[in-house]
């Protein structure tokens, strides 16, 4: 069969227009090797969209995304936008508008790249719609407010439904990994909110007798990730804790330029590297494309699993294998101490996906 796979491509700002096309080209080659065609649909987004459409996320982009399940999205550099267009950030608009509630951020060391912790191999499953980041919440407009000029408050929202769906993501992922989930919370202090998160995760755990489950307070988890990273497999947690722990895990595994992620709902997935727009190196052709390429590989694997499409899963595996091969060969962009350009690195990966 040759069912084409359609992907929305939103380059974004800074190094986005350098790393996103490289990742899409690698995916094109990997799918072609499986006899499949990738159809990229480029959509205006970020600073170029402000110039052409007056908005970072134009209505035509949102309309087009409604119809497309898979997206490759570059970083945004809101600080470079006119002040009145800086908020909400474009990435937050997409997550909120489309209810991308699951943020999956793996972190593992790569052969050939120095890592703080060589044995880190974790997947942080971060609830991405609730918690203290209530301005991203689907039901409450803005969670932060100031009742008087001297008092600032924030509302943290945790709902049973959101806890359940993120727990299912985590336990499903654990079955495909090493069969271990650690529930991270702070239920000794935030008893009602993170306590509900904890309880619902343990309820869901009962449906997965084959998966080992334990729990940690978030502060202990941060310390243990540094001390004994090899003890952990899947970490499931609420929004703010997940934001912090995934940065910590990513840093343990090496450079920011290596860390991939996807954001998903039940029906749509967005590949987005963990790093930002890196304006300091934008336009120099030196950006590391590994994070973006890895994010697109994650997205293809998610899609392949969801649609029982073995060829798409095989393409994802081929991309990860090619990345590992090229890194182990010692090919490196400037952030990793090398001299290879973004395009040269991408071409080397593309040459190994077939």
Positions annotated as catalytic residues are 133, 186, 219, 243, 247
Q: Which of 26, 204 has the CB closer to ligand ATP?
A: 26
Show the site string, 69-108: x = touches ligand ATP by CB under 6 A, - = not.
Answer: ------x---------------------------------
3-state helix, strand, coil in the chain (%, to 5): 45, 20, 35
Task: Restricting to residues 10-69, name those near ligand ATP by CB under 6 A.
Answer: 15
The residue range among 97-105, 219-227, 277-285, 309-317 that interacts with ligand ATP, by the rule CB under 6 A, is 277-285
Q: Which of 250, 276 has the CB closer to Mg ion?
A: 276
The residue range among 124-132, 159-167, 274-282, 320-328 that interacts with ligand ATP, by the rule CB under 6 A, is 274-282
Compute the least distance from the CB of residue 26 to ligand ATP, in Å: 15
296 backbone dihedrals φ, ψ, rounded to 5°: -65, -35
- CA-based nearest residue to 103, from 295, 322, 346: 295
Q: Does 239 bind ligand ATP (CB under 6 A)?
A: no
Q: Which of 205, 273 has the CB closer to ligand ATP?
A: 273
Show the site string, 167-206: x = touches ligand ATP by CB under 6 A, - = not.
Answer: ----------------------------------------
- CA-based nearest residue to 31, from 39, 19, 42: 39
The residue range among 59-67, 107-115, 162-170, 270-278 that interacts with ligand ATP, by the rule CB under 6 A, is 270-278
- CA-based nearest residue to 167, from 150, 187, 182, 146: 182
Q: Does 276 bind Mg ion (CB under 5 A)?
A: yes
List of residues 6+ apart from 271 with CB closer than 8 A: 23, 70, 71, 72, 73, 260, 261, 262, 292, 295, 296, 298, 299
Radius of gyration of the chain from its Cα atoms, rounded to whole angstroms: 20
Q: Does 327 bind ligand ATP (CB under 6 A)?
A: no
Q: Which of 25, 335 has the CB closer to ligand ATP?
A: 335
DSSP assignment of 164-197: HHHHHHHHHHHHHTTSEEEEEE-TTTSTTHHHHH
The SS3 of residue 92 is: helix
Do 174 and 234 form a contact (C-beta atoms < 8 A)? yes
Q: Which of 75, 156 has the CB closer to Mg ion?
A: 75
- CA-based nearest residue to 198, from 171, 226, 147, 237: 237
Count, residues near Mg ion per rule CB under 5 A: 1
Q: Does 287 bind ligand ATP (CB under 6 A)?
A: yes
Sites of contact with Mg ion (CB under 5 A)? 276
List residues binding ligand ATP (CB under 6 A).
15, 75, 256-257, 275-278, 280-281, 287-288, 291, 335
């Amino acid at each position: 069969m040759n069912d084409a796979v359609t992907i929305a491509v939103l380059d974004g700002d800074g190094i986005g227009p350098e790393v996103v096309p490289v990742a899409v080209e690698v995916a094109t080659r990997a799918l072609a090797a499986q006899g499949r065609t990738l159809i990229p649909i480029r959509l205006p987004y970020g600073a170029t969209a402000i110039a052409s459409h007056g908005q970072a996320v134009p209505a035509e982009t949102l309309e087009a995304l409604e119809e497309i399940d898979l997206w490759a999205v570059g970083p945004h550099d809101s600080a470079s936008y006119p002040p009145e267009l800086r908020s909400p950030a474009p990435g937050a608009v997409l997550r909120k508008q489309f209810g991308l509630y699951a943020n999956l951020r793996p972190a593992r060391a790569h052969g050939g790249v120095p890592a703080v912790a060589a044995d880190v191999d974790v997947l942080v499953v971060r609830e991405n719609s609730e918690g203290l980041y209530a301005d991203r919440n689907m039901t409450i407009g803005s969670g932060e407010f100031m009742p008087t000029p001297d008092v600032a408050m924030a509302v943290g929202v945790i709902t049973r439904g959101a806890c359940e769906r993120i727990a299912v993501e985590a336990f499903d992922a654990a079955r495909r990994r090493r069969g271990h989930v650690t529930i991270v919370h702070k239920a000794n202090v935030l008893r009602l909110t993170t306590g509900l998160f904890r309880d619902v995760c343990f309820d869901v755990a009962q449906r997965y007798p084959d998966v080992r489950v334990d729990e940690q307070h978030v502060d202990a988890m941060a310390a243990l990730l540094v001390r004994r990273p090899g003890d952990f497999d899947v970490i499931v947690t609420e929004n703010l804790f997940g934001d912090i722990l995934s940065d910590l895990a990513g840093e343990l595994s090496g450079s920011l330029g290596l860390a991939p992620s996807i954001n998903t709902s039940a029906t749509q997935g967005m590949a987005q590297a963990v790093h930002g727009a890196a304006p300091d190196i934008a336009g120099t052709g030196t950006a590391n494309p590994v994070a973006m390429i890895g994010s697109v590989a994650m997205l293809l694997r998610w899609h392949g699993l969801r649609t029982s499409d073995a060829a798409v899963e095989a393409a994802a595996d081929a991309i990860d294998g090619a990345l590992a091969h090229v890194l182990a060969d010692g090919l490196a962009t400037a952030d990793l101490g090398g001299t290879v350009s973004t395009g040269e690195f991408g071409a080397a990966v593309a040459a190994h996906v077939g």
